[in-house]
């Protein structure tokens, strides 16, 4: 089957064509501008590729509830040009193919659970730490939704000792995303995440905030593996600090085989940064069932 994949991000749209086995035939990206500018370019690409289905993993918040009148919409996003835009309808009407739809982080989680390091597991968290922070959650083999979908980047945080940074989130200021996403790191340090010295206090604070969030997720969701992706997590030096903080914060309360091998429990993304696109291929294939 020839499947289209769209990883819709606030900065760029990643377009690809592949198959239900996770193989990618072609991939390209275009800047995210507005629906009026960007959507026709994407439709043209997928039309030329003669796809049989499309999977969309989209920045949010979105409405993934098929029983809702708002299904397929990007909803209360701070990206104002895309607010209340029905992205699913736009592609269904233009391409006349089945369309699968979920959050970008759920798509990444699905990619990892189907073809990556979480293959065979039923309870998985994929956390992205980049321009924003979000979590895709697989619970008992199904992507987790509810009245919306997980917005795990906006949980409240206990402050790292001495941290006076006001926070970057336009809604909550010093929530997890406001304190630890890429833009917060850059504003705090006046340099990009890839330039921050590994021994800096900001780096230690970053690991502390990520670990604090993971402890909450571990206690609530009991995942069998936690996968950390996104641009900030390319700084692999963060992983030992995060794992050390997780163990310290749990303080022996949870004792499972996963935590006994924490280096294999909290891990980097495994699909060469293609986990989102590969997950979108799975969404597209599932839409045909």
3-107+273-286 and 117-268, same CATH topology: yes
Q: What pLDDT score does 176 carry? A: 98
- Asked if 26 contacts 56 with a C-beta cutoff of 8 angstroms, the reply is no
Mean pLDDT by 10 residues, the chain (289 residues): 96 96 98 97 98 96 94 91 97 98 97 97 97 96 90 96 95 96 94 91 96 98 97 96 98 94 97 97 97
Q: Helix crossing, 104-115 with 275-286: angle to 10°?
A: 90
CATH class of 3-107+273-286: alpha beta
Q: What pLDDT score does 78 carry? A: 82
pTM score: 0.95
DSSP code per residue over 97-114: S-EEEEEHHHHHHHHHHH
Give me the residue spans of the domains in the chain: 3-107+273-286, 117-268
DSSP state of 119: T
Domain 117-268 of CATH type 3.40.50.620:
no
Cα–Cα dist 184/51, whole Å: 39
């Amino acid at each position: 089957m020839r499947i289209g994949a769209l990883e819709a991000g606030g900065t760029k749209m990643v377009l690809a064509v592949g198959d239900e086995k996770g193989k990618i035939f072609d991939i390209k990206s275009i800047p995210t501008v507005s629906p009026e500018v960007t959507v026709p370019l994407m439709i043209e690409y997928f039309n030329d590729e003669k796809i049989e289905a499309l999977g969309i993993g989209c920045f949010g918040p979105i409405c993934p509830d098929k029983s809702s009148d708002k299904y397929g919409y990007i909803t209360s996003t701070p990206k104002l040009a895309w607010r209340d835009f029905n992205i699913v309808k736009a592609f269904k009407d233009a391409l006349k193919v089945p369309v699968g739809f979920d959050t970008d982080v759920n798509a990444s989680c699905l990619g990892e659970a189907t073809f990556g390091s979480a293959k065979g597991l039923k309870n998985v968290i994929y956390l992205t730490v980049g321009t924003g922070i979000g979590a895709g959650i697989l619970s008992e083999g199904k992507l987790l939704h509810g009245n919306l979908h997980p917005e795990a980047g906006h949980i409240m945080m206990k402050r790292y000792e001495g941290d006076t940074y006001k926070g970057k989130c336009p809604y909550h200021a010093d929530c997890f995303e406001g304190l630890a996403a890429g833009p917060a790191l850059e504003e705090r340090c006046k340099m990009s995440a890839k330039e921050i010295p590994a021994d800096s206090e900001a780096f230690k604070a970053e690991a502390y905030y990520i670990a604090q969030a993971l402890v909450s997720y571990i206690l609530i969701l009991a995942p069998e593996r936690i996968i950390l992706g996104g641009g900030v997590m390319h700084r692999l030096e963060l992983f030992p600090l995060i794992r050390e903080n997780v163990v310290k914060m749990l303080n022996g309360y949870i004792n499972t085989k996963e935590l006994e091998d924490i280096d294999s429990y909290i891990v980097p993304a495994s699909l060469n940064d293609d986990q989102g696109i590969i997950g979108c291929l799975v969404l597209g294939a599932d839409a045909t069932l």
